[in-house]
Amino acid sequence: MIKKLRIWSWIVSAFIKKYAIGITIGTIAGVILVVYFDPILKMLPITNTQHIGRIGSFTLAQLPLDIQQQVSSGLTKINQKGDWVADVANTVNINQDGTQYTVTINPETTWNDGTPLTTADIELNIADVTIDRPDPQTITFTLQEAFAPFPTILSQPILRKTKMGFIRKKTEISGINEFSITDVETNGQYLKKVILSSGNSVKVYHFYPTEEDALVAFKLGHIDTIEGLSSAPMDQWSNVSIEKEPDPNRYLTLFFNTADPNLQDKTIRQMLAYATPKSTDDDRVISPISRNSWAYNPQVKPYLYNLDTAKEMLDKIVAANPNIELQITLTTTPAYVDIGQQIVDAWNQLGVTANLQIVSFPDTNEYQALLIGQQIPDDPDQYALWHSTQATNIAKYKSPKIDKLIEDGRKETDKDKRKQIYLDFQRFLVEDSPAVFLQELPNFTIARNGALSKKTN
């Protein structure tokens, strides 16, 4: 036993003699690291990574605008009133008939790596528009006919793709702002993950088809923040922070399928509009155009909740058609179940046979009444939503008068005349009641304590 201890003693002694300098330096470094750990830690290039959940199915070409805007800016931008103003552009000159837009950019504008931005870098594929670049700071867009909302198209962020890496080439998408898109992961054609990087700051956006999927990921700790929720389901959690952000361009709407035999009659839709409970708070919406817009009409019929008026209308409908049997199925998503149930209860109280159908992904082609959130454009042009030729007109609404107003509104370049067109558009559309506009939908962000303050700083 003693002999073995002596052998180990010789080995240790020999090891210390051989590596004395290294051991001494290591010991001193260890002491310094312990004593000055916090200051040293702050000096290290540690990456701050945020994992953020977003709801919706997006392709890279349809990446949410607010994410794109962290990467770059457009030639123009839209203010709170829906007006366009110059952004990257120095000037935007429009010819007399509204068919040509000449844009100049500041020669000092650079990509985020310091490379000068020129008009040759601006890639915009716009149908029926001819693009000329007479010099590095000037770009001209020539339209076949006047299109008043065209400057809002120019608000699309300017992006470029660059191959990065020596062995394994990767595509990086950058712009003139702080962040770059450094990695993208897809599931088929739809985005699963997008990574934005800037120095030591990284934002990893995870995309989920439904709010329920995002909430499960949050509970499992896969993400620390969810942006764009329609409600705050975890308001009772002590370790969760909640931020509510108003969005005047997003509201809850009750659409009627005007092609359905039960809902073709305008009087029936008006009756149901009166019988639909509505918010009495400041978030009430009465028009398809945002109340912040320069084209907003506050004088449209509000269809205040009035069951007596609705019953009087129903009596007249039944008197004119004694055999009528109104049966309405209201379809909505889990996010709006409570409101949907209130509407169905009110309709049943009126005397209409109504029931509620809950689905995660509503079929906008096959429904009777549909309660969903609606995102509207910044510009008052709502051709895609209400023109009779558009597949995105989910109410299947057809009105020659509305079609004409929409067509005239997008051709008229005089703002005062254009405003009058949209005042009439709102008045006649609301009178026809292809939809009932209910209330603004704020966006909720939930985050684990600390993550929300990190996001906003």
The predicted-structure confidence for 293-327, as pLDDT tens digits, reads as follows 999 999 999 999 999 999 999 999 999 999 898 99
Mean pLDDT over residues 35-64, rounded? 73
Confidence of residue 165 (pLDDT cuts 50, 70, 90): low
**pLDDT tens profile 436-447:** 999 999 999 999
Mean pLDDT over residues 81-95, rounded? 94
- 162-176, 227-241, 280-294: which has the highest mean pLDDT? 280-294
Neighbouring C-beta atoms of residue 11, cutoff 10 Å: 10
Checking phi first, is residue 114 left (phi over 0); if not, alpha (psi -120 to 50) or beta? Answer: left
Give the integer Cα–Cα distance in Å for 451 and 202.
Answer: 13
Residue 40's pLDDT is: 44
Residue 166's pLDDT is: 57
Residue 240's pLDDT is: 86
Confidence of residue 21 (pLDDT cuts 50, 70, 90): low
Checking if the pLDDT of 365 tops 80, the result is: yes
Mean pLDDT over residues 381-393, rounded? 97
Residue 311's pLDDT is: 97
Q: Does 202 or 171 have the greater pLDDT score?
A: 202
Residue 18's pLDDT is: 58
Mean pLDDT over residues 363-375, rounded? 95
Share of the chain above pLDDT 70, in %: 86
Neighbouring C-beta atoms of residue 409, cutoff 10 Å: 24
In one letter, which amino acid is 419? K
Sole residue written with tokens 């997003």:
250
> Is the CB of residue 408 less than 8 Å from the CB of residue 421?
yes
**pLDDT tens profile 98-147:** 999 999 998 899 999 999 999 999 988 898 999 999 999 999 999 999 99
> Is the CB of residue 66 less than 8 Å from the CB of residue 52?
no
> Is the CB of residue 406 less than 8 Å from the CB of residue 448?
no
Residue 340's pLDDT is: 97
Confidence of residue 14 (pLDDT cuts 50, 70, 90): low
Confidence of residue 246 (pLDDT cuts 50, 70, 90): confident
Mean pLDDT over residues 14-37, rounded? 57
- Tokens linked to 84: 């366009």
Q: Does 457 or 89 have the greater pLDDT score?
A: 89
Count of residues in the chain = 457
Q: Does 334 or 271 have the greater pLDDT score?
A: 271
106: Cβ contacts below 8 Å, ≥ 6 apart: 88, 90, 137
Mean pLDDT over residues 225-254, rounded? 85
Torsion of CA 121, 126, 131, 136, to 10 degrees: -20
Checking if the pLDDT of 55 tops 90, the result is: yes
Closest-CA residue to 410 (of 231, 182, 152) = 152
Give the integer Cα–Cα distance in Å for 158 and 163.
Answer: 17
Q: Measure the CA angle with vertex 153, ends 227 and 64; round to 5°.
A: 15
Checking if the pLDDT of 279 tops 90, the result is: no
Residue 124's pLDDT is: 87
Give the integer Cα–Cα distance in Å for 358 and 133.
Answer: 52
Domains and CATH numbers, the chain: 2-43 (no CATH), 76-153 (3.90.76.10), 160-246+443-456 (3.40.190), 250-440 (3.10.105.10)
- Tokens linked to 64: 């949410």
Checking if the pLDDT of 15 tops 90, the result is: no
Mean pLDDT over residues 263-291, rounded? 95
Helix or strand run (H / E) with residue 330: strand 327-332
- Tokens linked to 361: 């992904």
Helix or strand run (H / E) with residue 344: helix 337-350
Helices marked H in 185-241: 211-219
Q: Does 334 or 274 have the greater pLDDT score?
A: 274
Checking if the pLDDT of 95 tops 80, the result is: yes
Checking if the pLDDT of 47 tops 80, the result is: no
Give the integer Cα–Cα distance in Å for 178 and 198.
Answer: 6
Checking if the pLDDT of 39 tops 50, the result is: no
Q: What is the mean pLDDT of the chain?
A: 89
Give the integer Cα–Cα distance in Å for 157 and 152.
Answer: 11
